[in-house]
Amino acid sequence: MAVAEESKELLQAQLELWHHAFGYVKSMTLAVALDLGIADAIYRRGGRATLSQILADAALSPCKLHGLRRLMRALTVAGTFTVATSSEDSGGEAVYELTPASRLLVSDDVDGGDGEGSAASLSPVLRLVLNPFRVSLLGMGIGAWFRREDQPGVAPFAVAHGRNMWEMAARKPTFNALVNDAMAADSRFLMRIVLRECAEVFHGIGSLIDVAGGLGGTATSIAKAFPELRCSVLDLPHVVASAPSGGNVPRMFSCPPHWISPL
């Protein structure tokens, strides 16, 4: 499917802003990798290790496997590590490998199986540079979260703040407004492109439910473009309190713990 140049330019501009806005994620994940000794764990295995092996060598609970997979995904996208295709000798698991950059993360005293440690390490320098990400709320104590065994289902944000993002929004109107405004702006931006470039995906659909649809911006855009399409939105009660009414979006009715509003 050919995409209009205007849409390409808009999406590229959005991508550039995301790169700037989320640039701290690279620093934060690198700080966590240092805290957990991921490069050391892979180095001990000869420079190649599966996720399960990294988990064991870093002395992490098996309940953190999913979190470690997400962390390694971010680190491989950043180029800190590489990931190879799974093979029989790895038990079907993906194999993570050191890069020239991550070899510099290996501690000087770590034995790589040949009786010798890393020839050069920049870990002490990086620990100094990245220390703000390790000790501030920005880092959300992710390194400490990985070492927790009592609450595998609790996200780092909730560990740091005592409640998850949505619970905080329910208790703090200013934060709730910040979240809702952000989601609405994102919907306005993307739906203009989606409806221009991918409108055919809505053809032949009689009804649509937008789960966690916020203030209903996405569903409203679709309903305007396709009046014959019956749309519904589901979200939490505290979101409903800020939902607009009128136009083709009638007042939204709360139905704890979710709500449904016909458009």
What confidence score (pLDDT) does residue 257 get?
A: 41
Q: Are residues 175 and 258 in the same domain?
A: yes
pTM: 0.76
Range of the domain at 131: 22-162
Q: Are 239 and 182 in contact (CB under 8 A)?
A: no
Domains identified in the chain, total number: 2
Instruction: Give the end of a domain, one of 134, 162, 190.
Output: 162
Q: What is the DSSP code string of 21-38?
A: HTTHHHHHHHHHHHHHTH
Q: Are residues 36 and 146 in the same domain?
A: yes
What sign results for the dihedral spanned by CA atoms 176, 177, 182, 185?
positive
Instruction: Give the end of a domain, one of 108, 139, 162.
Output: 162
Q: Which of 85-94, 154-163, 182-191, 243-252 has the lowest mean pLDDT?
A: 243-252
Both tokens assigned to 250 = 């009638």
Q: Are residues 99 and 214 in the same domain?
A: no
Does any domain span residue 1? no
Higher local confidence (pLDDT), 101 or 236: 101
Total count of residues recorded for the chain: 263
200-218 burial, b at 16+ Cβ within 10 Å, e below that, comes to eeeeeeeebebeebbbbbb
Does any domain span residue 184? yes
Does any domain span residue 2? no
What confidence score (pLDDT) does residue 191 get?
A: 93
Q: Are residues 138 and 203 in the same domain?
A: no
**pLDDT of residue 91 exceeding 80:** no
What confidence score (pLDDT) does residue 242 get?
A: 73
Q: Are residues 54 and 123 in the same domain?
A: yes
Does any domain span residue 16? no
